[in-house]
Amino acid sequence: MGYLFYHNAHTVALRLGSQSSVELPVAALVLATLGLGAALILTGGALRSSASSVVGWRQRQRERRHQALLRVREDGHRWLWSGDLDAATRALARYVEQNPHDVDAVLALANAYDERGELEAERRLLETERAVVGSEARLLHQLGRLALKRGNAGAAIDWLREAVQQHPESPRLLGELTAALAAEGRFAEAVPVAQRQVAAERQPAHRDEAIQNLTALRYRAAESDPDATSGDRALRRLLGESPEFVPTVLRLASRARAAGDIRTAERLYRDAIRRRPRGVLLERLTALHAASGQVDRALPILRDACSGNDLAGPRLALARALVQAGKHPAADAELADLVRDTPAWRNNGIDVAPERDLVAGELALARAQDREAATLLGRAATGGHRPFAYACPRCARVWSEWRDQCRCGAYGTLDWVVDATPAARGRAAGEPLAAAGA
Ligand SMILES: [Zn+2]
């Protein structure tokens, strides 16, 4: 710069406008220009650094808000687990509003609504979510379960079918689709789905349950087949494959009986009784022959049923059939045996008194001993359970008559209270009697 001042001391005119101009030494002009450039660079730098610090501040704010929301989400889940549904719903709803793509949180909120019984709010949430993230299998599954819960099995089937398309090997989805189809009475459609579930099920316990379910559905599909011939064929095939499933036996026998084929009906009962002398089989066999006035035809099979086991049911059924057949001394002897063995059964938690009193009362009635009959029948009616009542080992519900499906959903489980499993019997003693057909 000194060099410029010394050797180029002349001035140049800098025109500032059309009228004004200043005269400056060259060196001063260069200096001013350089100064201006430096000022510009410095200002730019300062601006840039302050802008980036604003961005950083915004990012930190966003991060803080995000962390706060995650805490809200965590709180929501924790409250859901601890059962504080109001707090859980508030927290999760707040979180989901900001994060509609978090399907897990949406499902947690849906569950909170579900547990509060706010099914309409749950439906709205799930359908909105579906519009946001599309047909996610977990959403479809939840929508299906919700529809089933609201009694709309048709909609549940549509949701679950769509979910199954995405996860064709999911036993859980297949099982729920099966249940929805069955709830709609679409048993023939449910059978192949249940078959796929059995094939997909890996856990042995679940697999056994799926097989039982498949058997029940095949039975329902066969017995409700509008084509009686193909329905009969399907029932016979099912009997061959699952002979222990009692509803098939009873359905085929009652069809044979309705067609006047007593021999086939008897054979069906007899074969099933040999597998296991279930109360309903003994009762139906006796009724089959009683209808034609030939109860004694049932006696050999009933006697057979009493051997090889320590069940009370077959012996009570035999004593009752002896009374009906007019074989009073034999009935007397059987009743005396029953009285003798009653304490042993009682030690095992089995109360045969109501059945025994009923049979003894029927015998007294047949012998025209009315006063004694009244006493015995009265005692039978007020005993620990209703004589020859049925209990479900799955749910312990007690029924006055046999039915193929219990209200708990189980098929073919009912057995006489005196022959039911100890657990079911224990609970059955305190249970009110469910009316047949209810
Ligand atoms: Zn049950």
Is-contact 424 403, C-beta < 8 A? no
Q: From the CA of 311, how far away is ligand 1's center (Å)? A: 21
How far is Cα 316 from Cα 12, in angstroms, rounded to an integer?
135
Q: From the CA of 394, how far away is ligand 1's center (Å)? A: 5
Q: From the CA of 435, how far away is ligand 1's center (Å)? A: 13
Please choose, from the candidates 187, 193, 195, the residue with its C-alpha nearest in 3D space to the C-alpha of residue 164.
193
Say if residue 124's pLDDT is above 80. yes
Q: From the CA of 209, how far away is ligand 1's center (Å)? A: 15
Q: From the CA of 188, how far away is ligand 1's center (Å)? A: 24
Task: Please tell me whether residue 355 adopts helix, strand or coil conformation.
Answer: helix
Q: What confidence tens digit (pLDDT) does each residue in 402-427 have? A: 999 999 999 999 999 999 876 666 66
Q: What confidence tens digit (pLDDT) does each residue in 106-120 have? A: 999 999 999 999 999
DSSP characters for 94-140?
A: HHHHH-TT-HHHHHHHHHHHHHHT-HHHHHHHHHHHHHHH-S-HHHH
Say if residue 245's pLDDT is above 90. yes
The residues, any chain, with a CB within 8 Å of residue 41's CB and separated by 6 or more, are none
Q: What is the predicted pLDDT for the residue at 200?
A: 95
Lowest-confidence range among 139-148, 150-159, 305-314, 423-432? 423-432
User: Which superfamily does 135-242 belong to?
Assistant: Tetratricopeptide repeat domain (1.25.40.10)
Q: What confidence tens digit (pLDDT) does each residue in 151-185 have? A: 999 999 999 999 999 999 999 999 999 999 999 99
Is-contact 99 69, C-beta < 8 A? yes
Q: From the CA of 411, how far away is ligand 1's center (Å)? A: 8
Say if residue 254's pLDDT is above 60. yes
Lowest-confidence range among 4-18, 68-82, 149-163, 235-249? 4-18
Task: Decide: pTM greater than 0.85.
Answer: no
Q: What confidence tens digit (pLDDT) does each residue in 2-48 have? A: 666 677 667 777 677 777 777 777 777 677 777 777 777 777 777 77
Lowest-confidence range among 95-109, 155-169, 185-199? 95-109
Q: From the CA of 140, how far away is ligand 1's center (Å)? A: 30
Residue 405 carries which DSSP code?
B
Q: From the CA of 317, how far away is ligand 1's center (Å)? A: 24
Higher per-residue confidence, 318 vs 97: 318
Output phi, psi for 45, to 5 deg: -60, -45
Q: What is the predicted pLDDT for the residue at 4?
A: 64
Q: From the CA of 397, how far away is ligand 1's center (Å)? A: 6
What percentage of the chain exceeds 90 in pLDDT?
A: 69
How far is Cα 389 from Cα 226, in angstroms, rounded to an integer?
32
Q: From the CA of 286, how far away is ligand 1's center (Å)? A: 26
Q: From the CA of 414, how far away is ligand 1's center (Å)? A: 8
Q: From the CA of 395, how far away is ligand 1's center (Å)? A: 4
How far is Cα 91 from Cα 398, in angstroms, rounded to an integer?
45
Q: What is the predicted pLDDT for the residue at 436?
A: 47
Q: From the CA of 11, how far away is ligand 1's center (Å)? A: 113
The pLDDT of 206-218, averaged and rounded, is: 95
Q: From the CA of 356, how far away is ligand 1's center (Å)? A: 26
Place of tokens 């909120």: 109
Q: From the CA of 277, how far away is ligand 1's center (Å)? A: 20
User: Mean pLDDT, the chain, as a whole number?
Assistant: 90
Q: From the CA of 268, how far away is ligand 1's center (Å)? A: 25
Please choose, from the candidates 231, 392, 305, 225, the residue with its C-alpha nearest in 3D space to the C-alpha of residue 239.
231
Q: What confidence tens digit (pLDDT) does each residue in 377-394 have? A: 999 999 999 999 999 999
The pLDDT of 267-292, averaged and rounded, is: 97
Q: From the CA of 279, how far away is ligand 1's center (Å)? A: 16
Q: From the CA of 413, how far away is ligand 1's center (Å)? A: 7
What percentage of the chain exceeds 70 in pLDDT?
A: 93
Say if residue 438's pLDDT is above 50. no
The pLDDT of 253-262, averaged and rounded, is: 96
The pLDDT of 318-326, averaged and rounded, is: 98
DSSP characters for 257-316?
A: HHTT-HHHHHHHHHHHHHH---HHHHHHHHHHHHTTT-GGGGHHHHHHHHTTS--SHHHH
